[in-house]
Amino acid sequence: MTSYTTSPDVASALANFSLPEKLGFGLVLAPVMYSVDYADGQWGRGELLPYGPIEIAPGARALHYGEFVFEGMKAYRAGAALPNLFRPLDNCRRLAWSAQRLAMPVVPEDLFLEGVNAVAGAMADFVPTGGGRSLYLRPFLFGTEPGYLLRNSNTFRFMVIANPVEAYASGPMRVAIERRDVRAAVGGVGVAKASANYAASLRASNQSLSRGYTIAMWLDGAEHRYIQELSGMNVFAVVNGELHTPELDGAILPGITRDSLITLARAMGKTVVERPMPIDDLLAQIQNGECSEVFACGTAAIVAPIAVLGDSDGREFMPQNVDVVARELRESLLAIQERRSPDTFGWTRDVPAPAAE
């Protein structure tokens, strides 16, 4: 049931594209994109276009009021001609949840899949394979109506852009505990994948970078006591041999990788505990050895080891293990994503062949 149109310029955009040697994460842009507009209460017809600049009214509410939500997901190509997507319906549901939190229209499942399948299908020959390489897809939804009146737009656009990527590998991360700024508070938009949350995080992110850290760790907005997550990644700790992760508190972004790891770890026979995690307890447990390892997870990095947690007073805490349990989980999850081990959870989904022109 393909109903999108393909611009005549897509073929030449793809013909002129080749995968460079060095992909990095987000350095290389797919030469195609998908776009569909919403007006008068309904979605129009989608289009597959060459990647390029778009026009937007300078007064559009997405620019002024942060009316912008997005997703991040990956397509892997494992031997087959066409790639497969990892848990795309979960991304679709989360985009709907994010849109509802910002009172934006929901992108229906068939339209969401049309967009990601159109881009992943067109890019099939350019999905890099092996070693965690993949096509990163970035679906996003934003309000296009100009105006200062504090209400939603009446017009919106849903787009999908993509990047062939390497496995995001920063090496073991140095995490800076953020004791002052707050990323998201309960009742706010932290549970939505809203660009506004990233705006709130940038000052602390910049400061942690300039202090020699990789990324900031967020604490809860009310007491500044409980671990929430990192900027864009959820957190796990190995405590007395069990996996502990902050329970979803109404401000933490419910990561699909987080959910996958909980399911996978339990299937591997591990105990997983979701609970409020006071940062000072965790630091004490790192010091006394009860906490042996800390790591983070998200679509980009899958599972990323943490070497150091640095506090605002300059003290540093180093768990005794780096990338032991994290590596085991990363390799198990990646094997499912790359279809090297059986997908007993039904997480991967084939991208259908693009419609003939």
Ligand X SMILES: *Cc1c(COP(=O)(O)O)cnc(C)c1O
Binding site for ligand X (CB under 6 A): 72, 193, 197, 229, 232-234, 253, 255-258, 298-299
The position carrying tokens 């800076």 is: 176
Number of Cβ atoms within 10 Å of the Cβ of 140: 19
Taking the least distance from each CB to ligand X, the nearer of 159 and 189 is 189
Nearer to ligand X, 37 or 166 (CB): 166
Q: How far is CA 109 from CA 91, 106, 161, in A?
A: 10, 9, 18
* Closest approach of ligand X to the CB of residue 98, in Å: 10
User: Is residue 182 within 8 Å of 201, Cβ to Cβ?
Assistant: no
- For the chain, the first-to-last Cα distance in angstroms comes to 14
- Helix H, strand E, coil C: the string for the chain is CCCCEECCCHHHHHHCCCCCCCCCCCCCCCCEEEEEEEECCEECCCEEEECCCCCCCCCEHHHHHCCEEECCEEEECCCCCCCEEECHHHHHHHHHHHHHHCCCCCCCHHHHHHHHHHHHHHCHHHCCCCCCCEEEEEEEEEECCECCCCCCCCCEEEEEEEEEECCCCCCCEEEEECCCCCCCCCCCCCCCCEHHHHHHHHHHHHHHHHCCCCEEEEECCCCCCEEEEECCEEEEEEECCEEEEECCCCCCCCCHHHHHHHHHHHHCCCCEEEECCEHHHHHHHHHCCCEEEEEEEECCCEEEEEEEEECCCCCEECCCCCCCHHHHHHHHHHHHHCCCCCCCCCCEEECCCCCCC
Nearer to ligand X, 13 or 329 (CB): 329
Minimum distance from residue 133 beta carbon to ligand X (Å): 17
Choose between 111 and 215: whose C-beta lies nearer to ligand X: 215
For ligand X, the closer of residues 197 and 285 by Cβ is 197
Q: Find all residues with CB under 8 Å of 223, minimum gap 6, and list them.
A: none
Minimum distance, C-beta of residue 198 to ligand X, in the bound complex (Å): 7
CB closer to ligand X, 255 vs 354: 255
Closer residue to ligand X, CB minimum distance, 117 or 234: 234
Which of 13, 297 has the CB closer to ligand X?
A: 297
Task: Name the minimum Å distance from CB 168 to ligand X.
Answer: 11
Q: For the CB of residue 74, give the shortest distance to ligand X in the complex, in Å.
A: 9
Q: Nearer Cβ to ligand X, position 239 or 251?
A: 251
Q: Which is nearer to ligand X, 253 or 351 (CB)?
A: 253
Q: How far apart are CA 332 and CA 345, in angstroms?
A: 13
**Least distance CB 39 / ligand X (angstroms):** 28
Smallest distance from ligand X to CB 196, Å: 11
Nearest distance, CB of residue 50 and ligand X, angstroms: 27
Going by C-alpha positions, the residue among 289, 260, 212, 296 that lies closest to residue 86 is: 260
Q: How far is the CB of 95 from ligand X (least distance, A)?
A: 11
CB of 350 to ligand X, least distance (A): 20
